[in-house]
Amino acid sequence: MTSSDRNPLKKPSKHRRQTGSALALTLVVAAAGLVPTSSAAAVQALPPQCSGTSPIKCQFNVAPGNYQVTVELGSPDRAANTSMSVEARRQILSAVSTTAGQIVQTSATVNVRVPEGQPTGQGGTGTSGLSITFGGSAPQVRSVTVAPASAPLVVYLAGDSTTCDQFTSPYAGWGQAFPLRVGSGAVIANYGDSGESSGSFLNNRALFPTVKPLIKSKDLVFIQFGHNDKNTTSTAFRDNLSRMINGVRERGGLPVLVTPPVRRQFSGSTLTRTAQHVNGLGVDLPAVMRSLGRSANVPVIDLTAKSKALVESLGPTASQPLYLTRETGDNTHFSMYGATKMADLVVQGVREQNLSLTAFLR
């Protein structure tokens, strides 16, 4: 595995253990800037759980699990522009513009785990509980309500650094942008981890062995590998994926194979075979996944083909902003812009396969 295939932040710091109560918790937060209801009333300030003005950051002491977060965005006396992310830069809501006096309410289901970024702690471990950040050019938050989610559809992501929740900008995995397209009632639990191959993910106790017991009936598990299977034989790759598929089915879940997104490696106006994940042994990894999908009756989202079409349509120069070509010379990992485009392609595949998640897409 080359350095470009890993998160460059390699040394995890020891995370703090979760201290929040597992009991139901509802927190209602009134933001600064509210008009007093009477002459005796004072303008309410952000409580201890929240601080800052741009961005506004809030920290709620809750146990790992899935939570329903309902927010009111806007201000009674000023225009605002407010976005929302949670945990390790996981995007929940694109910036919403409101006029003075306009209040917009929205709700999302979010996943909380420890560590909050990559499961092995690469790049950082974050804080215990639920972290919410309200950004945008002029964020205004009227209220936030956090409560345990009631039996959401959970979509688990099993993948590598192109999928994972990257702690540090400008790096981003498409799993970080995926929640932007998913409405309330479904939640993305991203267990992608930098540098993982199909074999290492299967055997690392922080990865598939942790995910498997969490899977409930009808949950979805998206499985994407290939970037780090550079010397994996066709037989081993197929066997590793088959073991994950069988493990998901043992729990009553639905496995979904996602072929890996292409690297930005051109030969003239077309992508090289390496960019399309033909590995060092000559194994066409996406082709193995497509074949396995057919034989095992597993839905396949062909992100390799979809991303190839996108990158080649843009060409060698216009495709650079999708990756970190200009920032770090990295043609494997995505910018947040590129991660969002890849997430859109995954959403396209969800619709094409008519997966249960379709009903929850924004």
Query: For the segment 190-201, what is each residue's pLDDT rounded down to a tens digit?
Result: 999 999 999 999
Is the model's pLDDT at 12 over the cut of 50?
no
State the pLDDT at residue 6.
45
pLDDT digit string (tens) for 109-119? 999 999 999 99
pLDDT band of residue 47 (cuts 50, 70, 90) is low
Q: At what angle do helices 336-353 and 303-318 cross, to 10 degrees?
A: 150
State the pLDDT at residue 269.
95
Is the model's pLDDT at 15 over the cut of 50?
no
State the DSSP H helix or E strand holding residue 292, giving kind and residue range, or none if neither. helix 285-296
Q: What is the mean pLDDT of the chain?
A: 88
Across 282-307, b (16+ Cβ under 10 Å) vs e yields ebbbbebbbebbeebebbbbbbbbbb
State the pLDDT at residue 88.
94
Give the separation between CA 140 and CA 29, rounded to whole angstroms.
12
pLDDT band of residue 48 (cuts 50, 70, 90) is confident
Section 240-260 average pLDDT: 98
Is the model's pLDDT at 35 over the cut of 80?
no
Q: Are strands 65-74 and 103-112 parallel, antiparallel or unpaired?
A: antiparallel
Section 150-179 average pLDDT: 97
Is the model's pLDDT at 102 over the cut of 80?
yes
Q: Are strands 65-74 and 141-148 parallel, antiparallel or unpaired?
A: antiparallel
**Dihedral sign, CA of 293, 299, 304, 306?**
positive
Report how far apart, in Å, the C-alpha atoms of 271 and of each of 1, 259, 274, 288, 303 are. 20, 16, 8, 19, 15
Measured from the Cβ of residue 39, the count of other Cβ atoms closer than 10 Å reads 5
State the pLDDT at residue 28.
34
Is the model's pLDDT at 249 over the cut of 70?
yes
Is the model's pLDDT at 337 over the cut of 60?
yes
Q: Which of 35-39, 87-91, 261-265, 291-295 has the lowest mean pLDDT?
A: 35-39
State the pLDDT at residue 165.
97
Task: Say what the pTM is.
Answer: 0.87
State the pLDDT at residue 123.
87
Q: Identify the three-state secondary structure at position 119.
A: coil
166 near 88, Cβ under 8 Å? yes
How buried is 43 (Cβ within 10 angstroms: 0-12 exposed, 13-18 middle, 19+ buried)?
A: exposed
Is the model's pLDDT at 21 over the cut of 70?
no
State the pLDDT at residue 46.
56
Is the model's pLDDT at 8 over the cut of 90?
no
State the pLDDT at residue 127.
86
Q: DSSP class of residue 259?
A: P
347 versus 44: the higher-pLDDT residue is 347
Structure tokens at 310: 């996108």
State the pLDDT at residue 54.
94
11 versus 207: the higher-pLDDT residue is 207
Section 125-154 average pLDDT: 93
Q: Are strands 50-51 and 56-60 parallel, antiparallel or unpaired?
A: antiparallel
